[in-house]
Amino acid sequence: MPLMPLCQAAHSRKLETGRAQILALYEVEPHGLEDAGALHSDVVPVAVCRLEKITHADLLHALAGGFDVIYLKACTAPKGLEQQSLEVELVQALGGLGRILLFDGAAGVDRQLAARLLPFPSVAPEVLAVGSRRDTARASAAALLPPSIGHVALPEQAPYGTLDLCGDLCTHCNSCVWVCPSDALSLTESGSEISFTGSLCFQCGLCVSICPPRALNLAPGMDLTVHAELPHLLEGPEGPDAGTMAPAEGRFSDGSGAAVFDQAGEAALPFEETGFSPVQESRRTGRV
């Protein structure tokens, strides 16, 4: 992770001093930033070449692994700002509500940074950075959210989620299995049923687009339980609905959580628990 050294230093400082740690990311340093936060917190200013390259995985890792608040300079290009807003919205939904703040360089940023801030608990950043960037994002979200949260509904276009299958429409052509680029979909050993591994799905939508009867629908969300790592049946042996994960409700769609630093909001996030039908024997399909 590119912010790992900064996170390690922030985590150590927080343990030693008890002071809040603030990360400011920008391309051009805002006026007054060098003196901000000196009394109550440590402000770490970092200049980056391309702000749009900072992803939700980087931001989640920083929040869970040492930093209490991140001030992120808004991209100037409309296309970059759109992508940046999506990344920030993901962070807001996955435990960073009120802790990831966009600013546009206007006056008053120094006063915001100088405000007294109580530090949040953090985890050693090297513990969270395991496996792929997706694994790091899931581990960081699990550290930021309460332990009772098992599933988080996410905005549309989020690269995490599950599938809803309408068993009455499915013709068992298996086209979805062969087209899946991440092997999130596979056939059971008997070849008569489809299993799904949630942690591998990045919601590309190829399975939905290739399905002739339109039996599949994307359901954005992140499963934080161990079940996300295990394959489960999209269609169980006892009926068309057996093993199908319940669709997430209350998805975010307006992106209001990613506006500016004075609009963090207090709204509760929609969560839900999900059930699974474990697959006793499964195999990955090859590519032809």
Predicted local confidence at residue 153, as pLDDT: 94
Report residue 250's pLDDT band, with 50, 70 and 90 as the boundaries.
very low
Domain 152-258 in CATH 3.40.50.10900: no
Does 37 have pLDDT greater than 60? no
SS3 call for 222: strand
> Is the whole model's pTM more than 0.95, yes or no?
no
Report residue 72's pLDDT band, with 50, 70 and 90 as the boundaries.
very high
Does 269 have pLDDT greater than 80? no
Does 258 have pLDDT greater than 70? no
Q: Which residue has the higher pLDDT, 54 or 190?
A: 54
Report residue 116's pLDDT band, with 50, 70 and 90 as the boundaries.
confident
Predicted local confidence at residue 226, as pLDDT: 86
Q: Distance (Å, rounded) from C-alpha 277 to C-alpha 127?
A: 30
Does 140 have pLDDT greater than 60? yes
Predicted local confidence at residue 111, as pLDDT: 67
Domain ranges of the chain: 4-145, 152-258
Predicted local confidence at residue 31, as pLDDT: 67
Going along the chain, which residue ranges are E strands?
A: 20-26, 41-47, 69-73, 100-103, 151-153, 161-165, 185-187, 194-196, 216-223, 232-233
Q: Of 210, 220, 200, 201, which Cα lies nearest the Cα of 171?
A: 210
Does 141 have pLDDT greater than 60? yes
Q: Distance (Å, rounded) from C-alpha 10 to C-alpha 119?
A: 11
Predicted local confidence at residue 237, as pLDDT: 32
Summary mean pLDDT of the chain: 79
Does 240 have pLDDT greater than 60? no
Report residue 34's pLDDT band, with 50, 70 and 90 as the boundaries.
low
Report residue 227's pLDDT band, with 50, 70 and 90 as the boundaries.
confident
Q: CB neighbours of 47 closer than 8 A, spacing ≥ 6?
A: 26, 27, 28, 29
